[in-house]
Structure 1
Amino acid sequence: MSIEGRWLCLLLMLVAFKLNVCALLDWGRNNRIEVNLPWLPFENETRCYDELGCINVTREWYHLIYRPFNVFPLPRLVIDTKFILYTRKNPNEGHLIRAQSDKTLQKSNFDAKKKTKFIIHGFIDTPLSSWVKEMIRELLKHADWNIIVVDWAGGSLPYTLKRQRIQD
C-alpha cells in the first residue's frame, strides 16, 4: 500500500473513531447502558449495585496500557448471571440456582457437607462449550462434589457488542 493510501486509512479510522465517540457521548446516561468510553466522562462518578456495593471511577484506576477504558459494569439485568448446579445425582442436567432465591438451592441436589467447585467460562465463551461439559464430567468422576457453573455470558464480549448495536 502506498504512503498516501496508509494516510487515507489512518484518517478514515480517526474520523470513524471520533464520530463513534461523539455519538456515544451524546447518549443520555439515565436510560442507556454505558459502553467503553475513556475514563474522563465517568471521572469521580460512583455507581451502586444493590447488595454488591459501589464502584467509583477515578484517575488512579486508569492505565494507558492495561485499562485504557474505565467503564462501569453492565447492569445485573443485562449480564443475568446464572448459577447451574451439577452433582453425581444430576451429572448431565444442571439445576438452575438463583442468587436471590433460597428455595432454588433448597430444591436442588446441593449438599452442604460436600466440597463445592466452581467453573467460570471465559470472556468469549459460554457454559455450553464442550470444555465445560468435559470438566464437569471429569470432576464428578474424581469426587462427589457440588459443581456450580457460573454463566455470565450476558456480560461477555459477543453479547455486549450485539446489545450495544441494537440500542434504539
Structure 2
Amino acid sequence: MTESVKAEAVYLSAHCDTPVEIFTPDDVDKMIDDLIFTKSPYGPSGTLAQVFSTERERLEGGHFDHELIVGVDGDTGFGVLTFMDEHGNFATVGSPDTREEPIYTLVRHMRELPEHCEIPLEIVRAAAKEFIATGGQRPTCVEWKPEW
C-alpha cells in the first residue's frame, strides 16, 4: 500500500512549480533541516516554508483554504509559525526576550513577523508534525495570538 501525500511545501524557488510532498514526520524533519541550512541572500537569517495540507477540502478553483508558515533561524535556534484559515491569521506566542520584529524570507520575499513570536526549534518541529498528523488543523501544542 502506498502512503498518500499529507501536505505540500514550498521553501525554495524550485518548489514554486513543483512543491515538496510530505508523507511522514521524517519528511517534516527534512524540510526543517533544509530550512536551517538554507541562508537567505537577502539579509534576514530566518527562512520560511509555506505548507498546505492535502487532506483538507479545497476552495472553488482548487485553492487551499488554509496555510501554515514554518520559519526557522538556524543561527538563533528559534523559529516561528503562522497559521491562516477562515477563523483568521495567527502567529505563535514567544517569550518576551525574543526579537521584537523578526524578519524571515519565503523564497525571495522578506516577511516581517509580529513581535515576540519566536519559539524554540524543537517546538516548531512538534507543531509542524501535529499539523500533518491532524490533517491540517491549527496545532494545539503552541500558544497562538492574532498575527496583527
TM (norm. structure 2) is 0.25
TM (norm. structure 1) is 0.23
Q: Which has the higher contact order (CA 8 A, sep 6+)?
A: 2
Structure showing the higher strand proportion among its residues: 2
Which of structures 1 and 2 has the bigger CA Rg?
Answer: 1
